[in-house]
Structure 1
Amino acid sequence: MKATLEPLDLDRDLALVHAWVTHPRSVYWEMQGASVDEVAAEYARIVADPHHQAWLGRVDGEPAFLAETYDPAHSPLASLPEIAPGDLGMHVLVAPTDSPVPGFTRLVFRAVMEHCFADTSVRRVVVEPDVRNDRIGAMNAAFGFVVARVVDLGSKTAALSFCTRSAFEGPTAHLSPERLATAQRHLVAKAISEYAHERIVTPVADADAWRLAAPDGGSSYTFRARRLALEHWAIEEDSLTRWVDGAPADLDVQAFVAEFAGPLGIPDPLLPTYLEELASTLASACWKLAHSSASVAQLLEADYQELEAAMTEGHPGFVANNGRIGYDLADYAAYAPETGSAVRLEWLAARRSLTRLSLGQDLSEARLYDGELDASVRASFSAVLRGLGLDPDDYLYVPVHPWQWRHQLAITFAPDLARRDLVHLGTGPDDYRAQQSIRTFFNTTRPERHYVKTALSIQNMGFKRGLSPRYMAATPAINDWVHRLVEDDPTLKGCGFTVLRERAAIGYTGDAFHALDVRSPYQKMVAALWRESPVPLLSRGERLASMTSLLHRDASGAALVTAMIEASPMDASGWVRSYLHAYVRPIVHCLLAHELAFMPHGENLVLVLRDHVPVRALMKDVGEEVCVMDSSIAVPEEVERVRADVPQDIKALALHTDVFDGFLRHLAAILDTDGVLPEAEFWAEVRRCVEQHAEEHPELAAQVEAYDLQRPEFRHSCLNRLQLLNTLEMVDITDQASSLQYAGTLVNPIAADRHEVID
């Protein structure tokens, strides 16, 4: 049997619809006793309403059911707090019959749900059946609806229920052969591009294309590509073909890694872990292909968190960039940033004598908790403690990731919970959204409240994502020191550059693991920090966007940065010039004036946009990433951790590797490929930005000479080589410089005597 839907035609269908909706079995349709004229008037109103549609359903061509869809925001449900953008309301009535066919109603219901979700902008279907209608309630539950609550709609008491796309389609519906093929093609192309960039593999010219042969000669890859500045391989994904024993074969990034395992140099015991991270990256890509439907035109007007959830790349350099080993299917749906799911954090009380709370300047414990937790929430927390015979004054409050609570803390820290050194207080009331960095959350209920960064013991992109209480103890002081330095510098102020301070850090150390001399991930499981929100820093007419969004392409391949430039009042050169003034100029100035280096990759920068143009940048993740690269520079004792003695030839890599190679080469490639701005002109703008800073700061001439930012070449520091060497912990965070992996040198695209780039 096949079910179809078509718009209701009142001239043709009125008599049939009247008979259906007034039938005694249709009592919950609320039209018992209605006349033909009354039914006609009701459905004429629906047909004329742009927010409400009526559909006639057929099974094998015969009229068999009636359906309605509507926008809940323009309905009696509009005032309910549960209603959100992306919701679609639905009603369905199966034609009453004295000879029901087994499975018929399920066939109809599925057809209506598929019709609803055929619109890719629909995230949830909403229904509000009468609470007495047990049969439709059971059908709703069978198709994935969850009752949110009972509501009074006047004419009925209804069970307000929602069904997400993933709940209806099933947890693995995104894993289709077609989506996998698309994801594989992109990831194999990225693997070849990035491994070739890092000189791990070496494609060779083959007529008008390139060929890369596996070491054993059994397989090879052919493709068309352009080589751009910084040895960036812009591969035409559609041209990529895998050959096995001379015949075309399916692209498979795990097979690719296995074929090239020797050159990649992954230690044998860690190869399965890397393959698992690749599998997870593919799964994430398939989910995004199924659900991330926003076009760049829509993203131009999206708010900060809608834009954050729409991102598809993760990290432009790393091949295995969405590992998330530890999440199951439900965890992915609940916590992956691309799902845009609302997350409510769990809260623990940690015994004060066993817990370290570090606070930023002018921030007290009371002010921190007053700002983050309403008085009623704090009162409920106190009541939990008093109910256990405990004094609330003996405890500090720690936000924890829900996954961390269920999978780690409730079990691994069972003795601490039993001793009441830790007490579970319950779930907080605020909704948060996970950021691209996975364990950091933005408060959507109260956007002016702090970001919350939590410990999360999953494996993701070369690390277990824990937080060390010992390491974080100095974080607020470091942030305050950097913030003062930035705020007191006229050049940085002139760029609008600032840092989002990590204002407080907390960590529990009363467990058995902290009593050991050996350091381990178990010492990084109960900790959190609070970082300033960028929302209060906005002026009228300004919007926020993670810098990683500049590298985003939508499902059609359209680039967001291209759309931004086209929508802005500037030409491409002017747009890039404004962006570099907001981003590159402050990084250069911090290096030359203060010997201060950040980790300024896409996820760590929040751009402030005006008329789609970046006008200033906000740096985050300061406490963990910042470094003063001269051991002779005096710093306050409490921030001594940030000081390091970095060799002079390595210092400039804070610009060359972290900015040029880590981000700008990808942006330049998009603009060049899209025909927006030739890469030679892009790098000329970067060179102009660096030279202009030097001209305007003659007092820094000695530093300009020492750093030699326009040197002909610089050392080629490689990210994937780090991850391939140790997929579990790719760098020692306390001594990152010593962990770096190099592959010769790269030609500097802004070299003083360089006037063109590689063809």
Structure 2
Amino acid sequence: MSAHEPRVTFEPVDVERDAALLHEWVTHPRSVYWMMGETTPAEVAVEYGAIAANPHHHAWLGRVDGEPAFLAETYDPQHSELAGLPDLRAGDIGMHVLVAPTSAPVSGFTTRVFTSVMEFCFEDPSVTRVVVEPDVRNQKIAALNAAAGFVVAREIPLHSKTAALSFCTREAFAASRERDGDRTPRPVPAAADHLNPENLERAQAALVAKAIAEFSHERLLAPRATQQGWRLTSPGGQSTYDFTAQRFALEHWVLDPASVVRTVDGAPRPLDVQEFIVEFAVLLGIPDALLPTYLEELASTLASAAWKLSNSVLSAQELLGADYQAIEAAMTEGHPSFVANNGRIGYGSDDFAAYAPETGSDVRLVWVAVRRSAARLSLSAGLDEANLYRAELGQARLEQFEGVLTELGLSPADYLYLPLHPWQWTNRVTITFAPDVARRDIVFLGESQDDYRAQQSIRTFFNRTQPERSYVKTALAIQNMGFLRGLSPRYMAGTPEINDWVHELVQGDEELQARGFGVLREWAAIGYTGDAFHALGFTSPYQKMLAALWRESPFSGGRLAAGERLATMASLLHRDAKGNSLVAALVTASPLTPTEWVRSYLRAYLRPLVHCLLAHDLVFMPHGENLVMVLRDDVPVRLLMKDIGEEVAVLGNGPLPAAVERIRAEVPLEEQSLSIHTDVFDGFLRHLSAILDGDGTLPQASFWGLVRECIEDHLADHPELAEAAARQDLLRPEFRHSCLNRLQLRNTLQMVDLADQSSSLIFAGTLENPAAPSWSPADVVG
């Protein structure tokens, strides 16, 4: 154990992944009281498979600083061997805990784990007592129980032991913590062991290399060739950066971070991305008033990178067999194009540890009741309020919420239920909306019983406890990558109807169905508007603080067939700590050749997007985080699009339902193809092609040839779309160069007007189209 306070996390046991480890633990001589010493690995798998299938019994793998360290079980005593005992009462939860046997025990470690498990049990506000039934001979656990506040009620006979039936109330546990001087304190918010010179040096080199690459790609900077490589000189001439790099299609630069050498006035100086930005600020065009904000976002991005350097442990090979959320948490890069891509201004270091997706921390959402007369709940067709809440909370939890309101003298019928990010409740709602809470227009109900995991988009959560339940997207008043991450109740009111319309269009299109292309509907949205800020006569970020939406889970509705698994498409751009790419590992592990693998991927990704544009004038925001890949034998076979409500548009003038009219966008014809050229070619495929080429998996000429083939094959199969294809001309020799970092540099607080994104674009000439028949790798200089 290091000197810092350990980070303890809980996750459901994955039987396939964890059975061998659990067998090692439960059969160890020190685990004699678990009475599994003679079991085989297969028997352990069966045992924990049965627990996983039991809705009243849950097994949790506990990690300490990311490493497996203990096993915990929680259960409903009334659905166990204890059922029917007169000692039991409502609000009881049963608990078992096993600390991993080790040859080098650490003083106090077992107590810390035990305390964390007790805290985990009491995180559910409906729990009033923890129940344990240890073997009466187990003196070590008896001592731990007593220290935590357990009182032995009596001895009872169970099928394999005589047990000391014991109870610990919430108050007794709190008293034990106070009595012992809270000897297992929460991590100190300022603790930051990952911020050290070694990690900083690596993070700075990587981010400076990315800044040079992406700003050069956007033609803000212009490195010149030297005999040894490339050189970039600051406007005043004081600073130079020498480096080696490869150049690929679409003016894509790949720098070797280790090669970047900085000099200032002729003397070597360490790499520092904030100083780099200041040195080149006149060329980058950052307004003076916003430069400090951008520097802060860079500092936060460095902090995130340093954390990942200390904690990212899964290799590309290990990710091949990882589950959906393990892959999500393993991503070491934010947006592939943006330099300042992990700003998260507003989070403290404790918030980062608790809520950043890369930490893999489980989160309990906060639920509040909002007065119905000051809120709006919008639902997809066929979904009603009662079914929504029952599906997401369960009947028992709904009754508990109703009880909270009733005890306050309030009528449950007067309220709607709204989930919140815990940070939002603590840092915004109880302060900025204090009057609304005080007059009980907003009522705190408690935490979710389910554990959630933050996704790469920061404010969206995946349900870890019951994966078939919806994603929850929450308002979050932190500044991240050019936006305050709020949600507008007014804007979201029509989101379910828009999603229904897109879903029906996709479901009714034979081409899209043949590709297996689907959308994860945002099928419910809620927003509170009873605050003082909504009474103003103008829009404000304060009007986006209290809202949420529910999005279908990819595990719902039988979407996955046997042998299929999920991964974020962003993972195709991932490299592990040693620089190995996940996409190369996938290609190698699959039964296909690189050409066949890429062809399958493009048919699943590019072809549906091209079809939506040509057949329906429908465009998405198809970057990596917005798509979920369905993999079979490590090959992407179909994709699911998400984040429909905010990032979909119709470019044509055809009739639309009134509720869908909001997504119609007036976009000049010459810019309409940018939904493919910029968002797909430049925004994602240029990065993927360079990785495949750089790793020796598939040359870029072959890759872009497959892109062209994909588009040509689509047209050959759909001659009725020839006119639309000619109008968009996706294979033309060049297209306008729309620049993302320029948007953030111009206004790091709000990059674009979401209501009129086209007018916000910034262009830098044109790019040669590598999918054009006339393009050749020789067109790439350097």
Q: TM-score, normalised by structure 2?
A: 0.80
Please say if 1:608 is aligned against 2:630.
Answer: yes
Which residue identity is paired with 1:416?
Answer: D
Please say if 1:180 is aligned against 2:234.
Answer: no
Cα offset, 1:754, TM superposition: 2.3
Cα offset, 1:138, TM superposition: 10
Q: Secondary structure at the match of 1:157?
A: helix
Please say if 1:83 is aligned against 2:83.
Answer: no
Question: Whole-Å Cα distance in 1 between the matches of residues 703 and 384 of structure 2?
Answer: 47
Whether the 8 Å contact between 2:189 and 2:349 is mirrored in structure 1 is no
Cα offset, 1:426, TM superposition: 1.0
Which residue identity is paired with 2:594?
Answer: A
Match of residue 642, structure 1, among 654, 660, 663: 663
The match for 1:65 is none
The match for 1:496 is 516
Cα deviation code 1:516-556 (max 9, x no counterpart): 01111100000000000001311110010000000000001
The match for 2:495 is 475
Question: Whole-Å Cα distance in 1 between the matches of residues 479 and 98 of structure 2?
Answer: 36
Match of residue 372, structure 1, among 384, 392, 402: 392
Cα offset, 1:153, TM superposition: 3.7
Cα offset, 1:329, TM superposition: 1.0
Question: Whole-Å Cα distance in 1 between the matches of residues 543 and 510 of structure 2?
Answer: 41
Q: 1:397 to 1:241 in 2, by over 3 A?
A: same
Q: 1:171 to 1:54 in 2, by over 3 A?
A: farther
Whether the 8 Å contact between 1:143 and 1:168 is mirrored in structure 2 is no
Whether the 8 Å contact between 1:605 and 1:620 is mirrored in structure 2 is yes
The match for 1:692 is 713
The match for 2:462 is 442
Which residue identity is paired with 1:731?
Answer: V
Q: 1:141 to 1:366 in 2, by over 3 A?
A: closer
Whether the 8 Å contact between 1:348 and 1:398 is mirrored in structure 2 is yes
Whether the 8 Å contact between 2:99 and 2:110 is mirrored in structure 1 is no
Cα deviation code 1:469-520 (max 9, x no counterpart): 0000110000000011111111111110010000000000011000001111
Q: Secondary structure at the match of 1:480?
A: helix
Whether the 8 Å contact between 1:551 and 1:560 is mirrored in structure 2 is yes
Match of residue 200, structure 1, among 220, 232, 240: 220
Match of residue 571, structure 1, among 577, 593, 617: 593
Match of residue 359, structure 1, among 379, 388, 391: 379
Whether the 8 Å contact between 1:146 and 1:163 is mirrored in structure 2 is no
Q: 1:165 to 1:173 in 2, by over 3 A?
A: farther
Which residue identity is paired with 1:569?
Answer: P
Please say if 1:629 is aligned against 2:654.
Answer: no
Match of residue 723, structure 1, among 726, 744, 761: 744
The match for 1:25 is none
Q: Secondary structure at the match of 1:301?
A: coil
Match of residue 529, structure 1, among 546, 549, 554: 549
Cα offset, 1:314, TM superposition: 1.0
Question: Whole-Å Cα distance in 1 between the matches of residues 582 and 113 of structure 2?
Answer: 39
Whether the 8 Å contact between 1:274 and 1:727 is mirrored in structure 2 is yes
Please say if 1:561 is aligned against 2:583.
Answer: yes
Q: Structure 1: which 4+ aligned runs deviate by more than 6 Å?
A: 48-55, 77-80, 142-146, 160-166
Match of residue 465, structure 1, among 459, 480, 485: 485
Q: Secondary structure at the match of 1:367?
A: helix
Q: Secondary structure at the match of 2:666?
A: coil
Q: Report the more deviating stretch, 638-647 or 447-456.
A: 638-647
Please say if 1:337 is aligned against 2:337.
Answer: no
The match for 1:276 is 296
Cα offset, 1:82, TM superposition: 3.9
Question: Whole-Å Cα distance in 1 between the matches of residues 468 and 341 of structure 2?
Answer: 30
Whether the 8 Å contact between 2:367 and 2:448 is mirrored in structure 1 is yes
Q: 1:237 to 1:369 in 2, by over 3 A?
A: same
Q: TM-score, normalised by structure 1?
A: 0.83
Question: Whole-Å Cα distance in 2 between the matches of residues 52 and 221 of structure 1?
Answer: 58
Whether the 8 Å contact between 1:457 and 1:525 is mirrored in structure 2 is yes
Cα deviation code 1:443-467 (max 9, x no counterpart): 0111000000000000000000000
Q: 1:137 to 1:674 in 2, by over 3 A?
A: closer
Match of residue 618, structure 2, among 581, 587, 596: 596
CA RMSD across the alignment: 2.9
The match for 1:247 is 267
Cα deviation code 1:555-585 (max 9, x no counterpart): 0100000000000000101000000000000
The match for 2:342 is 322
Cα offset, 1:227, TM superposition: 1.3
- Map of 1:102-141 to 2, 5 A cutoff? 127=99
Cα offset, 1:244, TM superposition: 1.5
The match for 1:8 is none
Which residue identity is paired with 2:454?
Answer: A
Question: Whole-Å Cα distance in 1 between the matches of residues 714 and 296 of structure 2?
Answer: 45
Q: 1:749 to 1:730 in 2, by over 3 A?
A: same
Question: Whole-Å Cα distance in 1 between the matches of residues 416 and 114 of structure 2?
Answer: 43
Question: Whole-Å Cα distance in 2 between the matches of residues 407 and 648 of structure 1?
Answer: 45
Cα offset, 1:176, TM superposition: 1.1
Question: Whole-Å Cα distance in 2 between the matches of residues 165 and 673 of structure 1?
Answer: 47
The match for 1:157 is 142
The match for 1:233 is 253
Q: Secondary structure at the match of 1:623?
A: coil
Which residue identity is paired with 1:198?
Answer: E
Question: Whole-Å Cα distance in 1 between the matches of residues 609 and 677 of structure 2?
Answer: 11
Which residue identity is paired with 2:340?
Answer: A
Cα deviation code 1:372-425 (max 9, x no counterpart): 011111011001111111110111000000000000001111111112111111
The match for 2:608 is 586
The match for 1:619 is 641
Whether the 8 Å contact between 1:128 and 1:158 is mirrored in structure 2 is no
Whether the 8 Å contact between 1:145 and 1:163 is mirrored in structure 2 is no
Cα offset, 1:141, TM superposition: 5.6
The match for 1:105 is none
Cα offset, 1:158, TM superposition: 5.8
Match of residue 573, structure 2, among 551, 564, 568: 551
The match for 1:114 is none
Q: 1:153 to 1:471 in 2, by over 3 A?
A: same
- Map of 1:16-27 to 2, 5 A cutoff? none
Which residue identity is paired with 1:621?
Answer: D
Residue ranges of structure 1 left out of the alignment (5+ in a row): 4-47, 56-70, 91-124, 130-134
The match for 2:244 is 224
Q: Secondary structure at the match of 1:83?
A: strand
The match for 2:80 is none
The match for 2:704 is 683
Whether the 8 Å contact between 1:241 and 1:248 is mirrored in structure 2 is yes
Which residue identity is paired with 1:485?
Answer: L
Which residue identity is paired with 1:529?
Answer: L
Match of residue 516, structure 1, among 536, 544, 567: 536
Q: 1:718 to 1:414 in 2, by over 3 A?
A: same
Cα offset, 1:327, TM superposition: 0.5
Q: Secondary structure at the match of 1:753?
A: coil
Q: 1:207 to 1:128 in 2, by over 3 A?
A: closer
Query: Number of paired residues?
Result: 657
Question: Whole-Å Cα distance in 1 between the matches of residues 449 and 113 of structure 2?
Answer: 29
Which residue identity is paired with 2:642?
Answer: K
Please say if 1:538 is aligned against 2:560.
Answer: yes
Q: 1:723 to 1:736 in 2, by over 3 A?
A: same
Whether the 8 Å contact between 2:378 and 2:494 is mirrored in structure 1 is yes
Residue ranges of structure 2 left out of the alignment (5+ in a row): 4-22, 31-40, 52-57, 72-96, 122-129, 149-181
The match for 1:708 is 729
Which residue identity is paired with 1:301?
Answer: G
Q: 1:229 to 1:137 in 2, by over 3 A?
A: closer
